[in-house]
Each structure stands twice: as structure tokens, then as C-alpha cells.
């Protein structure tokens, strides 16, 4: 068995386990840390698929910036215990049962299906997730949308600073 297949299988199992921990933990901080582990497992999956740029973005944007934001929100909200639900079946439990049934059908269909025999990648697959090819495409064909997004993010940052300063001035007076 090839090392790439072994690593892909390990990262896939790790991604499933960390995703399960994310949705089953009662403590929100523990759940957020499980989500960080899930993001790193996805990064490993991207690396086994030769998508280095997507893996780097996964670590920088999701595991870094987004999860810092999520942890700060959890800490700021000071989430307490959720009230226990008593009584008849609610919409939440109905949706949970339906979702579990759909997932069980999907897993059964994957396990019972026959392989197609198509195991090769497209001939350009090795260069499509490559950092240099993405950079070349981004800064030639998509330079205007890239710069527009950067200006939009700059405007949002300036707006956040202005709103934060206004809030500080109101609390001082």
C-alpha cells in the first residue's frame, strides 16, 4: 500500500473523529478546539491530494483567524448551561432523527456500492492546486476581483475601528 493512501486514510479517520468531537462536546471551548483539530486534518487531506495552496489557506484562514474569532466570541458571550428540554418531541429532535437517517443511508450506499475502477487523476491535477499556478491565475486573470476584495476588507476594517472608537468615547463621557 502506498504511503499517500495510508496518510489519506489516517487523515480521513482523524477528520471524522474530530468532527464528531466538535458536535458532541458540551463545553464550547472543547468543541472549538476539536474544530481546530478538524481543520488540521483537512489540511493533511489537502496535502495528500497535492493541493498545497489550499492547505496553506486552510491553516492560515480557518485554523488561524476564524478559530481565534470563534474562541473570542465564546469567551465574550460567557456561555452557560443550556436548559434541559422536557416534554414531547421537539423540532430539534425530529431534525436530529431525520439527519441521522439520511447519514445512515449515505454511509450504507457508499459501503454497498461497487467501485467504478477509475483511480487516476486528471493530467493537470498535480499543477492545479499548486501555489505558482494559483498565483499566476489570481494575479493575471482575476486581478480586478482580487483588488476589489482587498479594498472591501480595508473599508470593513476602517469601519470597525471607527465604530470601536465611537463606543470608547461614549463610555468615557
Contacts of 127 (CB under 8 A, 6+ apart): 133
The segments of the chain whose pLDDT lies below 70 read: 76, 78-89, 121, 125-127, 129, 167-173
- Phi, psi (5° rounding) for residue 93? -70, -35
CA dist 58 to 30, 41, 44, 125, 147, Å?
A: 20, 10, 10, 19, 21
Element of type H or E holding 162: helix 143-172
Extract the C-alpha cell encoding 127: 499543477
Q: Where are the domains of the chain?
A: 1-80
The CB-based long-range contact list for 23-31 (8 Å cut-off, 24+ gap) reads 28/74, 28/79, 29/71, 29/74, 29/75
Extract the C-alpha cell encoding 64: 488561524
Look at residue 10 in the predicted model and tell me its pLDDT: 94
CATH 1.10.3720.10 fits 1-80, yes or no: no
pLDDT digits (tens, 9 = 90+) for 94-114: 888 899 999 899 888 888 888
The whole-model pTM stands at 0.59
Amino acid at each position: 500500500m502506498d504511503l499517500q493512501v495510508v496518510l489519506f486514510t489516517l487523515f480521513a479517520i482523524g477528520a471524522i473523529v474530530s468532527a464528531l468531537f466538535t458536535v458532541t462536546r458540551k463545553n464550547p471551548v472543547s468543541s472549538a478546539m476539536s474544530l481546530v483539530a478538524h481543520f488540521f486534518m483537512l489540511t493533511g487531506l489537502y496535502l495528500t491530494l497535492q493541493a498545497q495552496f489550499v492547505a496553506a489557506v486552510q491553516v492560515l484562514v480557518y485554523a488561524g483567524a476564524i478559530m481565534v474569532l470563534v474562541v473570542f466570541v465564546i469567551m465574550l458571550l460567557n456561555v452557560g448551561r443550556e436548559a434541559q428540554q422536557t416534554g414531547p418531541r421537539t423540532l430539534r429532535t425530529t431534525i436530529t432523527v431525520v439527519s441521522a437517517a439520511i447519514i445512515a443511508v449515505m454511509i450504507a450506499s457508499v459501503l454497498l456500492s461497487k467501485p467504478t475502477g477509475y483511480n487516476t487523476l486528471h493530467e493537470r491535477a498535480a499543477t492545479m492546486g499548486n501555489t505558482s499556478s494559483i498565483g499566476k491565475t489570481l494575479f493575471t486573470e482575476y486581478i480586478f476581483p482580487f483588488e476589489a476584495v482587498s479594498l472591501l476588507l480595508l473599508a470593513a476594517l476602517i469601519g470597525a475601528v471607527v465604530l470601536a472608537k465611537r463606543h470608547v468615547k461614549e463610555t468615557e463621557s
